[in-house]
Amino acid sequence: MSASNILLIYADKLTPRLEYIVSTLFQEQARTTIDLEYFKKYEGPRLNYSSTNISSIPCHIYPYGLLEQSNICKQDILFSKWKDHPAFFNTEGTIPFDLFSAAFYLITRYEEWLPHQKDSYGRYLPEQSLAYQNGFLQFPLVNYWLDELAKELNVQVSRQFFFKPSYDIDIAYSYLHQSSFRNALGYFKQLVNLKFNQVVERLQVLAGTQNDPYYVYDWLHLLHESLQLKPMYFFLLASRRDALHKNISPNSGAMQLLIRDHAKKYTVGIHPSVIQHNSIPITGTREQVLEKEIKLLAEIIQEPVKNSRQHYIHLNFPETYRALVNSGVEADYSMGYPQINGFRASFTKPFIWFDLVANQPSPLVIYPFCYMDATVIFNEKRTVAEATKTLEDMYKLYQKYGGVFIPIFHNNFLTTQPVFIGWRNMYADFLLKYCTK
């Protein structure tokens, strides 16, 4: 892009927050200035983001003030409509709200830094969010605003689109490589509950006459190879076993072999343990446990661990992301809700995490997700047909606005077992429909 086609934004004051949101929205296609004379003489597209009315500039966003602040405090938010969609931080410019402040508020998850309720796992409740309460959780509102602003300015914004399937390996095997005690306990529980099909399945797997139902890795590999897909796998390496951590031991040969096999073909990341204040006693702080798990994964794959997704999407600000930064992780894939599918940051594209306390951007890149199989099956309780429509609708929004579409699937929900065969077939059909070259 030539210099004359780069958007120039005039501001009363350049702040870390303003520079961040301009970079996030426009990437390399815009820059800011406080030099009014230079701004007036500039021959390319221009946007006035200031409290001064400049008659020669038709596009004016009057600042609300959030981007000039350096602290975190409750904001008075009133909603209006702009081009038939929600808007807030209303001001008096030709764009009738401070689009930059509103986008900053949503993308940084500002509301999650304020006091809020948590669910039983210690996670933010999406029902508290502006997106849920104002009906745009299933729509990337920031992308829409950006598109409409680009039309006003007659500039182009990137709509580059990629699809990258991803898998959380919470329970690598159902029966194989589990301890004799756990298999015996599971056997008698299934027997007492008259689950005879599962009793037979367990016995056949342990006898070697049937594959473990959770071992779907060869099937996935065939799909990826035939469709030329480059997926990501996130492995849970918890050293303890409890209600939230059911994987086989990360020190077992079977688990390490599975990880190494995947690391040879695909990108592999850490799926950090959930650390709760009310959980059973564990050894070490959140950061110590994270560093231990990252070190183990690095030893297994023989390369640094650069990617993460939080187990149970246990994401809290700023603790989670600061721990990742301090552990050398470069990208996180947890920006979505586990309770409801939708756009947690109201944005489809990867973005740098902005630390509101430090009031500056961090080195961590955030990749949002908007669809997870566990959410649609267990929380939203959708039918296969309803889930298919949701997945396709989300995919099409990413196609329209750009970004990296990264749905989350679990190996234990892609089995040929009667309860999950419909979900397995739905996923295969989706890949064949949208990813066939």
Q: Summarize pLDDT for 294-304 with one digit per residue, the tens.
A: 999 999 999 99
Rounded to the nearest integer, the mean pLDDT of the chain is: 93
Whether the CB-CB separation of 408 and 373 falls below 8 Å is answered with yes
Give the residue carrying structure tokens 């947890």. 334
**pLDDT tens, residue by residue, 101-122:** 999 999 999 999 999 999 999 9
d(CA 338, CA 357): 25
What number is the average pLDDT over the span 41-70? 96
Give the integer Cα–Cα distance in Å for 113 and 110: 5
Beta bridge partners of 81: 86
pLDDT band of residue 201 (cuts 50, 70, 90) is confident
Q: Is the pLDDT of residue 129 over 70?
A: yes
Share of the chain above pLDDT 70, in %: 93
pLDDT tens profile 67-79: 999 999 999 999 9
Residue whose tokens read 């005879």: 196
Instruction: Check residue 178 and give its pLDDT.
Output: 72
* Letter string b/e over residues 102-127, b meaning 16 or more CB atoms within 10 A of that residue's CB: bbbbbbbbbbbbeeeeeeeebbbebe
Which pair of structure tokens corresponds to residue 20?
A: 């961040």
Residue reference for tokens 């492995």 = 235
Amino acid at position 175, single letter:
Y
What does each C-alpha distance from 217 to 145, 299, 306, 412 come to in angstroms?
A: 40, 22, 22, 11
Can you read off the two tokens belonging to residue 422? 């419909």
Report whether the peptide linkage leading into residue 86 is cis, meaning its omega lies within 30 degrees of zero.
no
Mean pLDDT of the 382-398 span: 98
Residue 192: which pLDDT band, with cuts at 50, 70 and 90? low
Q: Are 338 and 312 within 8 A, CB to CB?
A: yes
What are φ and ψ of residue 182, in 5° steps? -70, -40
Instruction: With 0.85 as the threshold, say if the pTM is over it.
Output: yes
Structure tokens at 88: 């807030």
Distance, in Å, from the CA atom of 183 to the CA atom of 189, rounded to the nearest integer, reads 10
* Among the ranges given (25-29, 177-181, 263-267), the one the predictor scored with the smallest mean pLDDT: 177-181
Instruction: Let me know if 131 is exposed, middle or buried by CB neighbors in 10 A (0-12, 13-18, 19+).
Output: buried
Q: Which residue has the tokens 């948590």?
A: 118
Position of tokens 């065939």? Answer: 222
Angstrom distance (rounded) from CA 41 to CA 260: 58
Whether 241 shows a pLDDT value over 90: the answer reads no
pLDDT at 316: 95
Reference 425, options 411, 414, 436; nearest CA is: 414
In percent, the amount of the chain with pLDDT more than 90 equals 84
